[in-house]
A and B are shown apart, each in its own frame.
Chain A
Amino acid sequence: MAEIAQDSGGGHKKGGKVRSKKMSTRIDFTPMVDLGFLLITFFMLTTTLAKPNIMALVMPEKDIKKEDVEPVKESKVLTLLLGANDKVYWYEGITDAKLDSTDYSAEGLRQVILNKMEKVKGQFGMEDYEDFKTKEPRKGSFINVIIKPTKDSRYKNLVDALDEMAITKVRYYVILDISKLEEEFIKNPAAGLKFNAEQQVEAATQ
């Protein structure tokens, strides 16, 4: 309004034609950017982006009938006893078992499992089996691992042991409660393991 009045009143500008002053259409975005980044920071801090990983675990059923238990070859069995202070005790088979100990490193437990696999492969060769999902016949060599955590072990030890199963692709493994005989065995390895096949089944199906 004021500008129009000025135009008509004061005609002593060049040509008499006065252009109205053009306002810049630029908006200062700085506060908006501030706000944007503030909100980003807020959302970044209050959210969980990385979802935790899960590891599936299948436990044997509580009441297994003795008839349903399929016997396994003793020389294929590797038993891991998860002990205190991140130590793993292990022995092969049952008869005349020798107790040895190792740790959870790549050179320790993993090597024990791989050695056992090699041994079983050498002894039994490749066997036929049916693929779980596709039912296709395949060939492979398997060991059976029994994991028995002692009372002094911690949860991490169990997960580490299960992790080794996944890394070395052990197909058959099971977590069982430790028996009295095995606790004795850890304390006094020289006495040997007085465990027979029936007691093993007993321990597994109790």
Chain B
Amino acid sequence: MPKHKPKRSAPTIDMTAMCDVAFLLLTFFMLTAKAKPQELVVVDTPSSISETKLPDAGTLTIMVDKDGKVFLDMAGQHTRMDLISAMNSTYQMGLTQKEMNVFSIVGGFGVPRNQLKRFLDVEPSERAKFPSTGIPIDSVDVNKSELANWIHNARLSQFRMKQEGKVKEEYVIVVKADANTPYPAVQSVINTLVDINVNKFNLITSMEGKPGAEGKK
């Protein structure tokens, strides 16, 4: 009697389904995701129960790190280009066209006006290591305060771009400060904003559970 041999099947698995899932997820991530911008400064935001989300476009972010250094970042390449040409001619910063192009795509910056040229000349990979000292604030004379000038001119540029139809919205001002920043540093930023008649702005916070579930802290 011949031995009955069990038929051996090759241990192949049908990968089609897995492939489908993988590409479905891939498509999902590609469509929903936004590239993470390179962080110029590490800011650990405090938490709050607020559930309002940061708008997608048209934000002007003022970052304050834990030493009180102020950085600025704004959305919109057209606006940035317009802003830097306006600032360049007003304050004779002596930037070349190439440097202005760099400014329009660079992320945040936190250098005094006279160091901006040097900051823009640095290789992109080295820029994170640039010794940024923060944008100076003059709390006495608002016209001399560089932060006030930048924000004021950025809003004007954004407004011009809106009129030209290149952007849809005016800037939403957001303040992103580190939880451990001493209050006077934040206060000078807030006072600067009030001085240039920005009375309504937003504070960036991270998520926190609603109270009641387990309470705060």
Contact check, B207 vs A50: say whether CB atoms are below 8 A apart: yes
Which of these, B18, B29, B174, contacts A43 with CB under 8 Å?
Answer: B29
- Partner-binding segment picked from B42-50, B76-84, B153-161: B42-50
Q: Chain A's interface: helix, strand, loop or mixed, by majority?
A: mixed
Report how far A162 CA is from B205 CA in the complex, Å.
11
Contact check, A36 vs B202: say whether CB atoms are below 8 A apart: no
Which of these, B22, B176, B187, contacts A36 with CB under 8 Å?
Answer: B22
Query: Who on chain B is nearest to A149 by CB?
Result: B183
Contact check, A60 vs B199: say whether CB atoms are below 8 A apart: yes
Contact check, B50 vs A155: say whether CB atoms are below 8 A apart: no
Residues of A within 8 A of B194 (CB): 59-62
Report how far A154 CA is from B176 CA in the complex, Å.
14
Contact check, A59 vs B203: say whether CB atoms are below 8 A apart: no
Docked complex: B1-51 residues within 8 A CB-CB of A: 12, 14-16, 18-19, 22-23, 25-26, 29-30, 32-36, 45-51
Query: Does B122 lie at the interface of the complex (its beta carbon under 8 Å from any beta carbon of A)?
Result: no
Contact check, A154 vs B22: say whether CB atoms are below 8 A apart: no
Contact check, A166 vs B199: say whether CB atoms are below 8 A apart: no
Residues of B within 8 A of A30 (CB): 15
A29, A105, A156: most-surrounded residue (chain B CB, <10 A):
A156
Contact check, B48 vs A166: say whether CB atoms are below 8 A apart: yes
Q: How many residues from A make CB contacts under 8 Å with B?
A: 52
B36, B187, B200: most-surrounded residue (chain A CB, <10 A):
B187
26 A-B contact pairs sorted by A residue (CB < 8 Å) = A30-B15, A39-B26, A43-B30, A46-B36, A47-B34, A47-B36, A49-B32, A49-B33, A52-B205, A53-B204, A54-B54, A54-B174, A54-B202, A55-B204, A62-B195, A105-B217, A106-B215, A106-B216, A152-B183, A154-B183, A155-B177, A155-B182, A155-B185, A155-B186, A160-B48, A175-B190
Chain B residues at the A interface, C-beta cutoff of 8 Å: 12, 14-16, 18-19, 22-23, 25-26, 29-30, 32-36, 45-54, 64, 174, 176-187, 190, 193-195, 197, 199-208, 211, 215-217
